[in-house]
Amino acid sequence: MWKGDAQRQSEHAGPAMVADVRLRVLTYNIRSGTDMLGRPRLNEQAVVMRGTAADLVLLQEVSSREQAERLGNLVNLPYVAFGAARTTGRGEFGNALLCRWPLEDVENHAVAAGWALSLRFKCDRASLG
């Protein structure tokens, strides 16, 4: 938790800061919505995510944009960003963000040249409205 005082905020040249904001973040490799034996477990994974009360969920191994949107609906995190790491016979496969607040200026970048599976998301601004 960041607690800023008025003097420090007035000296800051960047965007306005919000004092006493807590952001609960969860990272989760959902293995395309399956367990270690390949059995479908997307609904169970959604229960785990809801139980954390996360504001922002960072997902790895998401089998499609539609899967990310379905999870967003299941866990009541309506703002979804998906970044394809590769295309398979079934479509796109990659990483996703699920967020309680709108996401703006989300970009998908390869982290290492020549390794297309390695991605990161850049979130320049998130509206905490």
User: At 113, is the pLDDT very low, low, confident or very high (cuts 50, 70, 90)?
Assistant: low
72-75 long-range contacts, CB within 8 A, separation 24+? 72/98, 74/42, 74/43, 74/46, 74/49, 74/50, 75/46, 75/49, 75/50
Write out the DSSP string of 18-38.
-TTB---EEEEE-GGGB-TTS
Question: Where are the domains positioned within the chain?
Answer: 22-122
List of residues 6+ apart from 26 with CB closer than 8 A = 49, 52, 54, 56, 57, 58
pTM of the model: 0.71
Enter the CATH code of domain 22-122: 3.60.10.10
Residue 55 tokens, joined: 């504001």
- What's the CA gap between 107 and 66, in Å, rounded? 18
pLDDT digits (tens, 9 = 90+) for 44-88: 999 999 999 999 999 999 999 999 999 999 999 999 999 998 888
